[in-house]
Structure 1
Amino acid sequence: MASQPRRGGVSLPDRRAPKNTNQDGIITKLINAPIVSRGKQAACDAVYVSKKLLRSTGKAAWIAGTTFLILVVPLIIEMDREQQLNELELQQASLLGAPPVNPTLPVPR
C-alpha cells in the first residue's frame, strides 16, 4: 500500500538537525566566558550573605523586642503610677488647705 497524500491542512517542513560546527555562537561564547561565571558566583554569594544578614537581623530584633517588653514596659507603667500618686497627694493637700509641697525638696521634720 502506497502512502496516501494528506488531505487538507498545511504541512510544515521537517525539522532539520542542527549543524555541528566547531564555531560557537556569540551568545554561547558569552555564557561560557570566565567573567560571566565570576559574576554569577558573586551574585550567588551576595544573595547568601543577604539571607544570613536578614535572618540574624530578625533574630536580633526579636531579642530586643522581647527584652523591651519584659524589662522596660513594666518600668514605664510603674513610673506612671508613681506620678499619678504624687499628683493625687498634691491635689488632696491643696484641698485640705496645706501649702503645696515641692516634691524635689526634702520635707523638714
Structure 2
Amino acid sequence: MITIHLKYEIDADKLEDFEEYGRRWVGLVNRFGGTHHGYFLPSEGDSDIAYALFSFPSLAAYEQYRANSMEDPECQAAFELARSTRCIKRYERRFLRPLDGLAQPQPQP
C-alpha cells in the first residue's frame, strides 16, 4: 500500500472553493480504486494550510489512477475549479508507506 500526503497552501479567502474541490476529489479517488482518508482544513493556527491523505494498493495503482484522471471529465472539471478560482496557491506531494507489524493486537490474559 502507498499513502499520498498532500499539503496545500490555499487562499484563505477562497476556502469555500477549496472545500468544493476537496469534496469532488474524495469521491473521485474512491471511484478510481483508492481510499480517501479526507481533507483536513485550517482551524487553529495557520489559516492557509490544508492537508489530504489517500491510499492506493500500490504505486502502480496510483500511477494508473493519475493516467486515468487525465482523461476523465469529472477529474478535469475538478482541476478546472482549482485553476479558475485560484483557491490553491501551491501544493506538496509525499508518498508514504505504513510500518507493518507494529499494530498487532495483544492477547488478553
Which TM-score tier does this pair reach, normalised by the shorter chain?
under 0.3
Structure with greater helix percent:
1
Task: Please identify the structure whose Cα radius of gyration is greater.
Answer: 1
Higher RCO, 1 vs 2 (CA within 8 Å, ≥6 residues apart): 2
More strand by share: 2
Using the size of structure 2 for normalisation, the TM-score is 0.26
